[in-house]
């Protein structure tokens, strides 16, 4: 298939693009860093453009069978008014521009896969959350809700819309583990705050496999939780990282310090969600890494 991707040079996008190209798909990545890219990989092409701005790049979108929308500024940052506006603009405007670029006239039904996050559900303590749970009311939940609403408009163009609600993606050389592992290697790792907050996660390998699975299953549509079936509490995550690295993991990071350093985003890290991938499991998807210990051993084991 011909696949058009935004965010294809980021942490998830780079791995996903390589995976899809390796399966024989033709992947086109929209990037605003066209001049700094290294030599393209087989099966991957690049088109220059800013996804938050209208442009000639939009003419390319309707030439593809699958649209994968990953673009958006990182939430792993201290939030202030300007950064929160960037979080919204980078997601909502990109999605609007992609939907606008769909011509809705092709005889082949386009699949529109747009990223969201498990933050959609807000903070509900120990409640297990599946795809039919309502949206929360905090900033991150409202952001995810509004982002999804923009993507749903692709149905008016005849597209099959799949909303991929990411858990925290665990992979090599980046993401959440890229920030956590150095501290654990120094013996400074441990739970955050009370350590009782839930951590909904997914191994990068299973995430990209899920994309391939959803592309091939035309009956799959709507919101899909992309997270492992066994979420863990933060204290158990810390213990698992320490065990894999053979380093102590008992030094808790006080909640007030996290809030002091990261502001409002710190509160997000101290709460979390207990999310279950019911839709994927009901459709027969099998996880290679359902348990945190095996996932960490594969990613950072020594």
Could you tell me if residue 10 is inside a domain? yes
What's the whole-number mean pLDDT along residues 270-283? 95
pLDDT of 107 reads: 56
Could you tell me if residue 219 is inside a domain? yes
**Total domain count, the chain:** 1
Could you tell me if residue 240 is inside a domain? no
Could you tell me if residue 250 is inside a domain? no
Could you tell me if residue 251 is inside a domain? no
Could you tell me if residue 299 is inside a domain? no
CB of 143 closer than 8 Å to CB of 268: no
- Residue 260 CB neighbours (<10 A): 10
Could you tell me if residue 108 is inside a domain? yes
Q: Note the residue count of the chain.
A: 302
pLDDT in tens, 56-114: 999 999 999 999 999 999 888 888 999 999 999 999 999 999 999 998 765 568 999 99
Q: Is the pLDDT of residue 36 over 60?
A: no
CB of 67 closer than 8 Å to CB of 2: no
pLDDT of 129 reads: 98
* pTM more than 0.85: yes
Q: Which domain covers residue 115, as residue numbers? A: 2-169+201-228+275-287
Could you tell me if residue 297 is inside a domain? no
User: What does the H/E/C string look like for 19-63?
Assistant: HHHHCCCEEEEEECCHHHCCCCCCCEEEEECCCCCCCCCHHHHCC
pLDDT in tens, 236-260: 999 999 999 988 887 788 887 888 7
CATH number of the structural domain spanning residue 67: 3.40.50.720
């Amino acid at each position: 298939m011909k696949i058009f991707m935004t965010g294809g040079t980021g942490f998830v996008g780079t791995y996903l693009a390589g995976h899809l190209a390796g399966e024989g798909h033709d992947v086109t990545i929209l990037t605003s860093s066209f001049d700094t890219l290294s030599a393209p990989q087989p099966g991957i092409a690049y088109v220059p453009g800013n996804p938050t701005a209208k442009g000639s790049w939009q003419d390319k979108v309707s030439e593809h069978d699958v649209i994968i929308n990953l673009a958006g500024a990182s939430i792993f940052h201290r939030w202030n008014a300007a950064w929160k506006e960037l979080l919204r603009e980078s997601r909502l405007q990109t999605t609007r521009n992609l939907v606008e670029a769909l011509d809705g006239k092709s005889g082949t039904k386009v699949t529109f896969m747009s990223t969201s996050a498990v933050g959609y559900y807000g903070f509900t303590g120990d409640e297990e959350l599946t795809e039919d749970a309502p949206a929360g009311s905090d900033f991150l939940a409202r952001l995810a809700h509004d982002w999804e609403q923009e993507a749903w408009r692709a149905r008016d163009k005849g597209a099959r819309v799949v909303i991929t609600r990411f858990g925290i993606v665990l992979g090599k050389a980046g993401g959440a583990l890229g920030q956590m592992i150095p501290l654990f290697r120094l013996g400074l790792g441990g739970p955050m705050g009370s350590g009782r907050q839930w951590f909904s996660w997914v191994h990068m390998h299973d995430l990209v496999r899920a994309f391939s699975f959803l592309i091939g299953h035309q009956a799959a549509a709507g919101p899909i939780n992309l997270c492992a079936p066994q979420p863990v509490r933060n204290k158990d995550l810390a213990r698992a990282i320490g065990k894999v690295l053979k380093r102590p993991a008992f030094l808790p990071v006080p909640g007030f310090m996290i809030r002091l350093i990261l502001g409002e985003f710190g509160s997000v890290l101290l709460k979390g969600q207990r999310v279950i991938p019911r839709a994927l499991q009901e459709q027969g998807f099998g996880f290679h890494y359902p348990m945190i210990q095996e996932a960490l051993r594969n990613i950072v084991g020594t």
